[in-house]
Amino acid sequence: MDAELISLLSDIAIGVSAVAVASVGVFGLRTWRKELTGKAKFDVARNVMLLGFKLKDDFQWATSPFTSSGESVGRPRKENESSSESIVLNEGYARQRRLQPLVEDLQKLQTTGWEAGILLGEDSRKSVSEAIEIFRHSYGELASAIESYFEERYKEAIGTSVNIDQGWLRELRRTIYSASRGGLLNQIDEAIAQLADTLKPYVK
């Protein structure tokens, strides 16, 4: 009888131990999953913010008023190109090249923004999407200004310009050379602030 009691108690102990191990395993799995999800949210929020600041630098570089002669080295030259044509074409070429980092970083931010939308929830997705849209709109504004402004400047250089609204040209120039602060960079600051407010809880 004692042997049967010992055996029964042993079986009970083994059963209790198994339940305890299983409980600890489930708890550990849930904790690990929670930590993994938290890390994923932290990583995607951090990446969005880093790309946002990178884009801010891109915009400041793209709109900096100074260009160097080295920035137009790769430009194809026209036959019998006049010095006035060269000045306009060199500057326009340099400005177009400065847009390339913006294009690349915008694409990266868009992809990372999709990840943020999946991991961070609907409210955060909407806020991040709105900030990305500000970046995209600002890029479109700058790219359009560069194309229109240097097209008109080139027409002036070759003597085919017609009566153009000089106020419009001044506005284009203000957009292109706005690194010292202006409407375009103010928009970028707004986008950065929106991202910071949205993502702050995830990167503490």
pLDDT of residue 23: 46
Residue whose token pair is 């390339």? 100
Tell me the C-alpha distance between 35 and 46, whole Å. Answer: 16
- Residue 153 CA to its chain's centroid (Å): 31
pLDDT of residue 107: 94
In a domain, 2, yes or no: no
Rounded average pLDDT per 10-residue block, the chain, 204 residues: 54 52 46 57 89 94 91 88 93 96 94 86 86 94 96 91 86 83 82 90 79
Tell me the C-alpha distance between 19 and 11, whole Å. Answer: 12
In a domain, 4, yes or no: no
pLDDT of residue 180: 56
pLDDT of residue 119: 84
pLDDT of residue 10: 57
The HSE-up count of residue 87 (CA atoms within 13 Å, CB side) is 8
Tell me the C-alpha distance between 123 and 129, whole Å. Answer: 10
Residues spanned by the domain of 124 = 47-202
In a domain, 28, yes or no: no
Tell me the C-alpha distance between 126 and 114, whole Å. Answer: 10
pLDDT of residue 71: 92
In Å, how far are 36, 119, 140, 150, 190 from 145, measured between CA atoms?
45, 36, 8, 8, 21
Joined together, the tokens standing for residue 128 give 């991040």
- Number of structural domains in the chain: 1
In a domain, 23, yes or no: no
Any long-range contacts for 99-102 (C-beta under 8 Å, 24+ apart)? 99/62, 99/139, 99/142, 99/143, 99/146, 101/58, 101/61, 101/62, 102/55, 102/58, 102/59, 102/62, 102/139, 102/142
Residue spans of alpha helices (H) in the chain: 2-62, 83-98, 100-120, 122-158, 166-176, 183-199
pLDDT of residue 164: 81
pLDDT of residue 115: 86
pLDDT of residue 101: 96
